[in-house]
């Protein structure tokens, strides 16, 4: 497979969401201009992103919404459900387990794991909490592909290694630390505190501008 820039993959996810909204609104055709406007990128960028995967539109006539949506789902690997587990059922893990809409996107929460015996055996947000010792057995039993990693940062690398050893190939890492995984395993960091810090930077910047302009 060609090396596709991560930013392109992120934008494809955005285009797919826009196409889903268009289809919901029964819009049959769209254009790179319209997708660009909704995604807040240039039309050139939209065409370039799509061109990595082939030709989807007709010059002048744009794109068929259902066809492009189907193609993007295929490209993104979203034509099948993905089984998910949560590692670490603390405050964040429990909040994730309580989120009711993963299924809507074909991400099926199958199980959760925790090192704390007081949490094991409980049923939280529709999933059972298993001991980490049962990771291998449960991951293969339910063909779990992806894990949400929601353990404290100092435990994250070790927990990730256990997930990988059990056969997990995708980790959504909520712990504020970089984890190292072997080739063929993918980590997506999710760090909303980093987002807050970026906001603080921008707000401080605009505050400064206002002061200077006053």
Q: Does 98 bind ligand NAD (CB under 6 A)?
A: no
Nearer of residues 41 and 89 to ligand NAD, judged by Cβ: 89
Q: Does 34 bind ligand NAD (CB under 6 A)?
A: no
Q: How many residues bind ligand NAD (CB under 6 A)?
A: 27
Cα separation, 62 vs 155, in Å, equals 50
Query: For residue 138, what are the CA distances in angstroms to 93, 113, 156, 169?
Result: 18, 10, 20, 15
**Whole-number minimum distance, CB 84 to ligand NAD, in Å?**
16
> Segment 101-160, which members bind ligand NAD (CB under 6 A)?
113-116, 119, 132, 150-153, 155, 158-159
Nearer of residues 63 and 113 to ligand NAD, judged by Cβ: 113
> Segment 178-207, which members bind ligand NAD (CB under 6 A)?
190-193
Q: Is 5 exposed, middle or buried (0-12, 13-18, 19+ CB in 10 A)?
A: exposed
Residue 114 — φ and ψ, nearest 5°? -150, 150
Residue nearest to ligand NAD (CB): 90
Nearer of residues 78 and 115 to ligand NAD, judged by Cβ: 115
Q: Which stretch binds ligand NAD (CB under 6 A): 6-14, 42-50, 85-93, 99-107?
A: 85-93
Cα separation, 75 vs 25, in Å, equals 23
Cα separation, 73 vs 200, in Å, equals 35
Query: For residue 2, what are the CA distances in angstroms to 30, 52, 71?
Result: 27, 8, 17
SS3 62: strand
Q: Does 168 bind ligand NAD (CB under 6 A)?
A: no
Q: Does 57 bind ligand NAD (CB under 6 A)?
A: no
- Contact residues for ligand NAD (CB under 6 A)? 87-93, 113-116, 119, 132, 150-153, 155, 158-159, 174-176, 190-193
């Amino acid at each position: 497979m060609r090396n596709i820039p991560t930013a392109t993959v992120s934008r494809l996810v955005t285009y797919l969401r826009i196409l889903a909204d268009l289809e919901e609104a029964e819009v049959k055709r769209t254009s790179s201009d319209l997708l660009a406007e909704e995604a807040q990128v240039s039309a050139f960028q939209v065409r370039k992103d799509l061109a990595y995967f082939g030709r989807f539109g007709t010059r002048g006539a744009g794109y068929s919404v259902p066809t492009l949506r189907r193609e993007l789902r295929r490209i993104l690997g979203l034509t099948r459900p993905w089984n998910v587990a949560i590692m670490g059922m603390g405050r964040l893990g429990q909040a994730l387990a309580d989120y009711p809409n993963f299924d809507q996107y074909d991400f099926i929460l199958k199980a959760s794991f925790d090192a704390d015996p007081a949490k094991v055996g409980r049923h939280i947000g529709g999933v059972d909490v298993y001991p980490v010792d049962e990771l291998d057995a449960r991951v293969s039993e339910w063909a779990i592909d992806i894990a949400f990693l929601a353990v404290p940062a100092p435990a994250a690398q070790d927990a990730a290694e256990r997930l990988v050893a059990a056969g997990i190939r995708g980790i959504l890492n909520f712990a504020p630390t970089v984890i190292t995984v072997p080739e063929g395993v993918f980590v997506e960091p999710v760090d909303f505190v980093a987002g807050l810090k970026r906001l603080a930077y921008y707000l401080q910047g605009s505050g400064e501008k206002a002061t200077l302009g006053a």
